[in-house]
Amino acid sequence: MRNVVTNWIWYAIVVVHGFVVPRLINDYRGQELLGIWDWGWSLVLYVGLLSLGITSAVSRYTARYRAVEAWEDLNRAFSSSLAILASMCLLVILAVTAFDVTAAFLDRDVTSDQRATAQWTAILLISAAAIQLPGGAFNGIITGHERFDALNGIRWLRDSSSLVGMILILTLGGSIVGLAAFNLALEVAATLARAALAFRLCRTLRIGPQYVRRSVMAEMLQFGGKTVMQEFARGGLQYGVRLMLAKWLGPGTLAVFARQQALVMHAHRFLKQYSQVFVPSAAALHSEKNTKALQELMLKGNRWGMYFAVPLMIVLILQGGPLVQLWMKDPAFRAAEVIAVLAAGHVLAIGQNSAYSVLMGMGIHGFAAVLECIVAIIGLVVVGIGIGWLGWGMLSAAVVIGLCVTATGGVLIPLYACRALELPFGRYLLTILWGPLVACLPFVAVLLSVPPLLGTVGLWTQLGVTLGGSGAVLVITYWFFVFPPTVRDRILKRLGRRRDGAPEVAS
């Protein structure tokens, strides 16, 4: 519970950062430079793929070797992984300084000043992402000790400092190149802090060439390769479409599309903080060959995932356009159809993230990652042809993304997990969907009925009353019809009262 809560607290900072900084860049530097900033961050994703899934491998093997106190094996796993990630870091830095990445991805109606800004922004952002690569080995040591809370403390300091610093830079007249340089400095400091924490948690941790083994490197790459395929598939599709929009429709169009996409992706990542905690539980149950418990874990994990995901996506489908307009304070960024399509296409996948976590814990997530890769490549080809040759716009790109995400995370991966666990797919779908869909009906009714009753009021008032009223209805519904009595009792105890309403007496 502590790890999940701290994950959510940290990600709340990420969400605030994602709302505030783009808005300020648009206000102080304009939509074109905001598009260049989004383009730079799109390139960062591909640097992250060069982690090769090693961080998750280090985390798994750290927990495994800690249990049997195999410290020499742990040092070999860590040093071999660090050697791989450090090599990738050096490769990225050399490549980004040697090649003009703007020449390949930003060639439409861009001035020479904008091109220079884009080049330096990309160099600095990619360098910061490259430094994260060897830092991932230290992350694996920390999470392998199940200290997500300590890791999230470092993340919170980094991201809150980044938020404050970037606000100051923009309001004082700084450029987006200055933002990227500040981001690089913070990443260096955060990496050093994670390294210090890793050595503090694991007193027997040693680094040295004597611990590097080719066989260990191959083993880590084999496990991590399954993870990186999935990351490539999900992130590559989302950010690959961004690069295509920047190339053929310009940075301005990308800035609008990226705002709609950002809200959906924030919801996805927020719920990923919940689902990832099932990986070690699934691994433990799998080692005991407890198939029945694994079935129950996936059913409960995905049912609660849908309870979280359905109302979030319904809000974006029905009120996403006004939310984006309120966020950016500019009607030009409002694209209600685009965000509605993206949200509808993600709801099943977001709610069923726990299916992939269970597969990962069982060590059979490779086939699921291959499925996602195949579908993502097909999606990128279709979008490339559509935008580059057929004149498609943002909405068509959103439709393709939604179909790909639904096909993989919403249908194929849960179906594969059910077959692996010998769980009837029909029973599974009924279990995870019936309750969340019925429980959200009053919530939807309020979302649809309140705006027409308000008439022509301000945007703040409309969203405040609509979301506040529907949220209150959702809380009441979940309290009485969704939360188990044990959960309600615990919440009441936290509030200092018993179920009967009498104050709780301290012993």
| pLDDT at position 15 | 77
DSSP-assigned beta bridge partners for residue 323: none
Final residue in a domain of this structure, among 388, 414, 439: 439
SS (H, E, C) 12-48: HHHHHHHHHHHHHHHHHHCHHHHHHHHHHHHHHHHHH
3-state secondary structure of 497: strand
Largest CA distance in the chain: 74
CA 122 to CA 198: how far, in whole Å?
30
Query: Based on the domain organization, do 290 and 208 belong to the same domain?
Result: no
Does any domain span residue 145? yes
More confident residue, 88 or 494: 88
| pLDDT at position 505 | 38
Give yes or no for a contact between 24 and 33, defined as CB atoms under 8 angstroms apart. no
- For a pLDDT cut of 70, what percent of the chain falls above it? 92
Does any domain span residue 470? no
pLDDT value at 106 more than 60: no
Query: Based on the domain organization, do 255 and 374 belong to the same domain?
Result: yes
Does any domain span residue 284? yes
Query: Based on the domain organization, do 314 and 336 belong to the same domain?
Result: yes
pLDDT value at 102 more than 70: no
How many Cα atoms are found within 13 Å in the side-chain-facing hemisphere of 292?
A: 0
Q: Terminus-to-terminus CA distance in the chain, angstroms?
A: 25
CA 405 to CA 368: how far, in whole Å?
13
Query: Based on the domain organization, do 202 and 231 belong to the same domain?
Result: no
Final residue in a domain of this structure, among 422, 439, 456: 439
CA 378 to CA 336: how far, in whole Å?
26
Q: Give the model confidence (pLDDT) of 313-366 as tens digits.
A: 999 999 998 888 887 777 888 889 999 999 999 999 999 998 988 887 777 888
CA 313 to CA 305: how far, in whole Å?
12
CA 29 to CA 335: how far, in whole Å?
21
Q: Give the model confidence (pLDDT) of 4-17 as tens digits.
A: 778 778 878 877 87
Query: Based on the domain organization, do 289 and 339 belong to the same domain?
Result: yes
3-state secondary structure of 503: strand
Average pLDDT, the chain: 83
Residue ranges making up the domain that contains 279: 225-439
- Model confidence at 502, in pLDDT bands (50, 70, 90)? very low
For the ranges 139-148, 158-167, 256-265, 432-441, the lowest mean pLDDT is seen at 139-148
| pLDDT at position 171 | 81
Final residue in a domain of this structure, among 419, 439, 459: 439
For the ranges 69-83, 95-109, 148-162, 457-471, the lowest mean pLDDT is seen at 95-109
Count of the separate structural domains present in the chain: 2
Query: Based on the domain organization, do 239 and 324 belong to the same domain?
Result: yes
Q: Give the model confidence (pLDDT) of 143-198 as tens digits.
A: 777 787 888 888 888 888 888 888 888 888 877 788 888 888 988 999 999 899 98
CA 187 to CA 150: how far, in whole Å?
17
Q: Give the model confidence (pLDDT) of 292-305 as tens digits.
A: 999 999 999 899 99
Give yes or no for a contact between 202 and 145, defined as CB atoms under 8 angstroms apart. yes
Cα dihedral 492, 498, 500, 501 sign: negative
Look up tokens 């505030």; give the residue.
20
| pLDDT at position 99 | 65
CA 30 to CA 275: how far, in whole Å?
37
Task: Give the closest residue to 216 by CA, choosing from 48, 58, 56.
Answer: 58
What would the two tokens of residue 498 be?
A: 């018993």
Does any domain span residue 450? no
Give yes or no for a contact between 161 and 76, defined as CB atoms under 8 angstroms apart. no
Does any domain span residue 132? yes
Query: Based on the domain organization, do 22 and 166 belong to the same domain?
Result: yes
What would the two tokens of residue 109 be?
A: 């109606």
Query: Based on the domain organization, do 396 and 423 belong to the same domain?
Result: yes
Does any domain span residue 193? yes
Query: Based on the domain organization, do 179 and 254 belong to the same domain?
Result: no
| Average pLDDT, integer, range 242-258 | 84
Which are the contacts of 112, defined by CB distance < 8 A and separation ≥ 6?
A: none
Global pTM reads: 0.72
| pLDDT at position 105 | 52
CA 70 to CA 144: how far, in whole Å?
14
Question: What are phi and psi for residue 422, nearest 5 degrees?
Answer: 55, 45
| Average pLDDT, integer, range 114-142 | 82
Query: Based on the domain organization, do 360 and 249 belong to the same domain?
Result: yes
Query: Based on the domain organization, do 4 and 143 belong to the same domain?
Result: yes
Query: Based on the domain organization, do 201 and 89 belong to the same domain?
Result: yes
- Model confidence at 499, in pLDDT bands (50, 70, 90)? very low
CA 122 to CA 36: how far, in whole Å?
9
| Average pLDDT, integer, range 394-412 | 94
Give yes or no for a contact between 136 and 48, defined as CB atoms under 8 angstroms apart. no
| pLDDT at position 34 | 75
